[in-house]
Structure 1
Amino acid sequence: MHHGRVLVALLLSAAVLPFDTRAAASLLVDDATITDAHHCQLESWVRHTRDGQEWTAVPACTLADTEWSLGLTRLPGQPSPQWAVGAKRVLVERRQRRWGLAASAGLGGTAHPPRGDDWNLAVPLTVALDAQDKVQLHLNLGWARHAHVQGHTSGVGIEVALHHDWSLLAESARDADRQRSSQVGLRRVLWPGASVDLLAVQAHHLRDTRWLTLGFNLAALP
Structure 2
Amino acid sequence: MPFKKLLMAAVAVLATTAHAARPMNTDDARIVDAKSCQLESWVKHPRGHTEFWAQPACNFTGNLELTMGGSLTRQDGSTRGSAQMLQGKTLFKPLETNGWGWGLAMGMARDPRRDAGGGHDMYAYVPASFSLLNDKVVLHTNVGWLREQGTRSNHLTWGLGSETQLQERTWLIAETYGQGSGKPLVQVGLRYWLVPDRVQIDATYGNRIGEGSQRWFSVGLRLLSLPFLP
Fold agreement, TM-score > 0.5: yes
For 2:67, the equivalent position in structure 1 comes to 69
Q: State the Cα distance separating 1:13 from its structure 2 match.
A: 5.2
Residues of 2 paired with 1:14 and 1:177: CA distance?
35
Counterparts of residues 160-199 of structure 1 (less than 5 Å): 160-176=164-180, 178-192=182-196, 193-199=198-204
Secondary structure of residue in 1 paired with 2:140: strand
Matched, 1:129 2:132: yes
**Match for 2:123 among 98, 102, 120?**
120
1:45 aligns with: 42
Extract unaligned runs of 5+ from structure 2.
Answer: 1-6
1:118 counterpart letter in structure 2: D
CA distance in 1, matches of 2:209, 2:73: 20
Distance 1:41 1:90 in 2: 17
Which of 190, 201, 210 does residue 206 from structure 2 map onto? 201
Q: Structure 1 residue runs of 4+, over 4 Å off?
A: 10-13, 110-113
Which residue of the other structure, out of 215, 219, 222, is the alignment partner of 1:214? 219
Scaled by the length of structure 1, what TM-score is found?
0.83
Moved more, 87-96 or 167-176: 87-96
Give the letter for the 1:196 counterpart: I
Paired position in structure 2 for 1:156: 160
Whether 2:109 is the aligned partner of 1:108: answer yes
Where does the alignment leave 5 or more consecutive residues of structure 1 unmatched?
1-9
**CA positional deviation for 1:119:** 1.2
What letter is aligned with 1:46?
A: V
Give the 3-state SS of the residue equivalent to 1:16 in structure 2: helix
CA apart distance, 1:206: 3.2
> SS of the counterpart of 1:208?
strand
Query: Which amino acid in structure 2 is aligned with residue 29 of structure 1?
Result: T
| Counterpart AA for 1:206 | E
| 143-152 or 202-211: bigger deviation | 202-211
> How far apart, in 2, do the equivalents of 1:164 and 1:173 lie?
27
User: How many residues of Structure 1 are paired with residues of Structure 2 in the alignment?
Assistant: 207
Q: CA RMSD in A?
A: 2.6
Partner of 1:141: 143
Check 1:30–1:208 CA distance in 2 against 1; reply closer, same or farther (3 A cut).
Answer: same
Deviations 1:14-33 (A, max 9, x none): 23368xxxx57532200000
Q: CA deviation at 1:81?
A: 2.5
The answer (yes or no) to whether the contact 2:164–2:171 under 8 Å persists in 1 is yes
Query: 1:56 offset after TM fit, Å?
Result: 0.6
Deviation at 1:74, TM superposition (A): 1.9
Contact 2:31-2:89 within 8 A present in 1 as well: yes
Cα pair distance change 1:128/1:195, threshold 3 Å:
same
C-alpha change, 1:167 and 1:96, in structure 2 (3 Å) is closer
